[in-house]
């Protein structure tokens, strides 16, 4: 292996079950502060558009952004509403404490490191989170699907991450993620090895059956070097 690429949510950050509707309600409450019924209707419409976009991702691996969701519902971008929305999600963004020592060791071994995340959030939000947690400098590159045409498991998303960290051969890469369809199936289809972190409570409606096995299962990030050593 010459490189390790990580998923973000549920992998570099421990899984936190969140209420997507509540997040959109917070956004809608800001822009319709004087009309609770309108705010409720807007929140429901935003949730429906968001869910539909993620359904398309699972079926077609097409990327989208939060701005696309707003546009589809006809809701304007609003700075204060975005700030409130981000504050709601903040609890689910904190980097696993084992990331810093792990990445430090991987880089000391001469491995390149990266992130590939299927996300509708602007890449800048994620970059700010990694900077906040003092880990951004430990990655050679981070690729967010909100900047791409495709999400995982489309091979082009994995190719984008691989090229971003300066690797040409997918056989030189291992991908670490928590979703069998997006991460394990996607990485192996792209020619990479794939390691599953099996602790995320992925909702049933987000699960896609796959007929593929990970190359390894990782219960703690700190155990990753042992797995890599076993492949030598």
Task: Provide mean pLDDT across the span 103-113.
Answer: 98
Report pLDDT for 31: 96
Tell me the three state secondary structure of residue 136. helix
H-helix or E-strand spanning residue 163: helix 155-164
Q: Assign 64 a pLDDT band (cuts: 50, 70, 90).
A: very high
Kindly report the average pLDDT of the chain as a whole number.
Answer: 96
Task: Provide mean pLDDT across the span 66-87.
Answer: 97
Rounded to whole angstroms, the Cα distance separating 11 from 130 reads 13
Angle (deg, nearest 10), helices 20-31 and 79-89: 160
Task: Provide mean pLDDT across the span 38-59.
Answer: 96
pTM given for the model: 0.96
Residues 111-141: tens digit of each pLDDT: 999 999 999 999 999 999 999 999 999 999 9
Task: Provide mean pLDDT across the span 169-197.
Answer: 97
Residues 200-214: tens digit of each pLDDT: 888 888 888 888 999
Is the pLDDT score of 19 beyond 80?
A: yes
List the structure tokens of 70: 């707003």
Task: Provide mean pLDDT across the span 38-53.
Answer: 98
Report pLDDT for 67: 97
Is the pLDDT score of 76 beyond 80?
A: yes
Report pLDDT for 32: 96
**Residue 153 preceded by cis peptide, ω within 30:** yes
Domain 3-14+93-230 in this protein, CATH class: alpha beta
Phi-psi label, residue 74: left if phi above 0, alpha if psi -120 to 50, beta otherwise? left
Report pLDDT for 5: 98
Rounded to whole angstroms, the Cα distance separating 81 from 155 reads 35
Q: By C-alpha distance, which of 196, 156, 203, 166 is closest to 179?
A: 196
DSSP 8-state code for residue 215: S
């Amino acid at each position: 292996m010459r490189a390790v690429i990580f998923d973000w949510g549920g992998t570099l950050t421990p899984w936190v079950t969140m209420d997507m509707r509540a997040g959109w309600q917070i956004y809608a409450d800001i822009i319709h502060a004087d009309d609770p019924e309108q705010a409720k209707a807007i929140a429901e419409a935003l949730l429906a558009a968001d869910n539909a976009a993620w359904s398309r991702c699972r079926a077609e691996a097409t990327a989208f952004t939060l701005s696309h969701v707003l546009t589809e519902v006809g809701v304007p971008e609003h700075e204060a509403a975005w700030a409130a929305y981000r504050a709601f999600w903040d609890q689910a963004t904190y980097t696993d404490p084992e990331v810093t020592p792990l990445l430090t060791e991987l880089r000391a071994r001469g491995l390149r490191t990266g992130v590939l995340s299927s996300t509708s959030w602007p890449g800048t939000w994620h970059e700010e989170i990694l900077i906040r947690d003092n880990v951004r400098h430990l990655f050679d590159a981070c690729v967010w699907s909100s900047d791409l045409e495709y999400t995982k498991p489309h091979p082009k998303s994995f190719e984008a991450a691989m090229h971003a960290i300066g690797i040409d051969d997918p056989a030189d890469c291992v991908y670490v993620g928590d979703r069998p369809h997006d991460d394990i199936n996607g990485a192996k289809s792209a020619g990479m090895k794939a390691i599953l972190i099996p602790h995320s409570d992925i909702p049933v409606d987000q699960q896609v059956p796959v007929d593929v096995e990970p190359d390894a299962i990782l219960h703690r990030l700190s155990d990753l070097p042992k797995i890599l050593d076993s492949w030598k």
